[in-house]
Amino acid sequence: MIDNFLELTKLITPATLVPLFPLIGFLLIALFGKQLNHVSGWLASAMILASFVLTCFLFINLPGKSDLNFELFQWMKWGNITLSFGFLIDHLSLVMMLVITGIGFLIHLYSIGYMHHDEGFSRFFSYLNLFIFFMLLLVMGNSYLIMFIGWEGVGLASYLLIGFWYKNDAYNDAAKKAFIMNRIGDLGFLLAMFFMLFYFGGLDYLTVNEAASGFEVGTLLITSITLLLFVGAMGKSAQLPLYTWLPDAMAGPTPVSALIHAATMVTAGIYMIARSNILFAMAPHTLDVVMWVGVATSIFAAVIGMKQNDIKKVLAYSTVSQLGLMFAALGMGAFESGMFHVVTHAFFKALLFLGAGSVIHAMSGEQDIRNMGGLSKYIKITWATFLIGTLAISGIFPFSGFFSKDEILANAYNGHTLVWILLSISSMLTAFYMFRLFFLTFSRDFRGTAQQQSHLHESPWTMTVPLVVLSVFAVIAGFWGLPAVLSENHMFANYLAPIFADSKEIMRAHPHVDHSTEWLLMGIATLAALISIGIAYNFYIHSKLLPEADAETKGLSKWVANKFYVDELYDKLFVRPMMVLSDLFYVLVDKLIVDLLVMASAWIIGFTGRTIRLVQTGNTGLYLFLMVIGMMVFMLIQLVY
Closest CB to other proteins among 556 and 614? Answer: 614
- Cβ contact 58:14 at 8 Å: yes
C-beta of residue 36 within 8 angstroms of C-beta of residue 43: yes
Contact of 494 with 333, CB cutoff 8 Å: no
Distance CA 408, CA 334 (A): 7
Question: Is residue 5 a contact residue for other proteins (CB under 8 A)?
Answer: no
Site for other proteins in 340-359 (CB under 8 A): none
What is the C-alpha separation between 374 and 380, in angstroms, rounded? 11
Based on CB atoms, which residue is closest to other proteins, 149 or 472? 149
Q: Which is nearer to other proteins, 516 or 641 (CB)?
A: 641
Q: How far apart are the first and last CA of the chain?
A: 94
The number of residues that bind other proteins (CB under 8 A) is: 76
Amino acid residing at 305: G
> Judged by CB, which is closer to other proteins: 53, or 187?
187
CB neighbours of residue 501 within 10 Å: 13
The only residue of 5, 194, 461, 565 in contact with other proteins, by rule CB under 8 A: 194
CA 620 – CA 247 distance, rounded (Å): 85
Q: With CB under 8 A as the contact rule, which of the stretches 46-54, 183-191, 240-248, 289-297 interacts with other proteins?
A: 183-191
Q: Does 187 bind other proteins (CB under 8 A)?
A: yes
Task: Say whether residue 578 binds other proteins (CB under 8 A).
Answer: yes
How far is Cα 528 from Cα 409, in angstroms, rounded to an integer? Answer: 13
Q: Which of 173, 368, 502, 548 binds other proteins (CB under 8 A)?
A: 173
Q: Does 551 bind other proteins (CB under 8 A)?
A: no
Q: Least distance in Å: CB of 170 to other proteins?
A: 10
Q: Is 184 in the site for other proteins (CB under 8 A)?
A: yes
Nearer to other proteins, 256 or 429 (CB): 256
Position 198 contacts other proteins (CB under 8 A): yes
Give least dist CB 118 to other proteins, A: 14
191 near other proteins, rule: CB under 8 A? yes
> In the bound complex, what is the minimum distance in angstroms from residue 168's beta carbon to other proteins?
8
CA dist., res. 84 & res. 327, Å (int): 30
Q: Which is nearer to other proteins, 488 or 641 (CB)?
A: 641
Q: Are 66 and 15 in contact (CB under 8 A)?
A: no
Query: Smallest gap, in angstroms, from Cβ of residue 94 to other proteins?
Result: 23
| Per CB under 8 A, 31 contacts other proteins | no
Residue 518 as a binder of other proteins (CB under 8 A): the answer is no
Q: Interaction with other proteins in 422-441: which residues (CB under 8 A)?
A: none
Smaller CB distance to other proteins: residue 79 or 511? 79
Q: Which of residues 64-103 bind other proteins (CB under 8 A)?
A: 74-79, 81
Shortest Å distance, C-beta 618 to other proteins: 3
What CA–CA distances, in Å, run from 143 to 57, 207, 326, 500, 517?
Answer: 23, 9, 23, 17, 41
Stretch that binds other proteins, among 107-115, 189-197, 314-322, 325-333 (CB under 8 A): 189-197
221 binds other proteins (CB under 8 A): no
Provide the residue count of the chain.
Answer: 641
Q: How far is the CB of 602 from other proteins (least distance, A)?
A: 8
Separation between Cα atoms, residue 531 and residue 529, nearest integer Å: 5
- Residue of 20, 24, 56, 190 interacting with other proteins (CB under 8 A): 190
Q: Tell me 486's DSSP state.
A: T
Only one of the segments 106-114, 340-348, 363-371, 573-581 lies at the binding site for other proteins (rule: CB under 8 A); that segment is: 573-581
Indicate the residue type of 148.
F
Binding-site member from 87, 110, 125, 179 for other proteins (CB under 8 A): 179
Q: Is 197 in the site for other proteins (CB under 8 A)?
A: yes
Q: Which of 521, 293, 308, 516 is nearest to 427 (CA)?
A: 521
Contact yes or no for 434/535 (Cβ under 8 A): no
**Please, what is the minimum distance in Å from the beta carbon of residue 598 to other proteins?**
5
Residue 242's SS3 state is coil
581 binds other proteins (CB under 8 A): yes
Residue 82 CB, nearest approach to other proteins (Å): 11
**CA 210 – CA 356 distance, rounded (Å):** 46
Q: For residues 556 and 612, which CB has a smaller minimum distance to other proteins in the complex?
A: 612
564 binds other proteins (CB under 8 A): no
Using only C-alpha atoms, the chain has a radius of gyration, in whole angstroms, of 30
**Up-side HSE of residue 496: CA atoms within 13 Å toward CB?**
25
Residues 6+ apart with CB under 8 A from 16: 72, 87
Do you find a cis peptide bond into 398, omega within 30 degrees of 0? yes
Nearer Cβ to other proteins (271/348): 271
Interatomic CA distance for residues 191 and 193, integer angstroms: 5
Task: Choose between 184 and 472: whose C-beta lies nearer to other proteins.
Answer: 184
Comparing CB distances to other proteins, the nearer of 67 and 152 is: 152
To the nearest 10 degrees (0 to 180), the angle between helices 91-114 and 121-140 is 170
Scanning 75-143, the segments in alpha helix (DSSP H) are 91-114, 121-140
* DSSP helix/strand/coil, 80: coil
Question: Closest CB to other proteins among 564 and 634?
Answer: 634
Q: From the CB of 67, what's the least distance to other proteins, in Å?
A: 24
Could you tell me the smallest distance in angstroms from the CB atom of residue 114 to other proteins? 22
Sites for other proteins among residues 598-637 (CB under 8 A):
598, 602, 605-606, 608-610, 612-614, 616-621, 623-631, 634-635, 637
Q: What sign for the dihedral angle of Cα 561, 563, 569, 574?
A: negative
Residue 539: C-alpha distances to residues 114, 304, 392, 425, 439 (Å)? 33, 18, 21, 19, 10
Q: Which is nearer to other proteins, 549 or 640 (CB)?
A: 640
Minimal CA–CA distance to 69: which of 163, 153, 142, 173? 142
Q: Which stretch binds other proteins (CB under 8 A): 185-193, 259-267, 304-312, 479-487?
A: 185-193
Site for other proteins in 140-169 (CB under 8 A): 148-149, 151-153, 156, 159, 163, 166-169
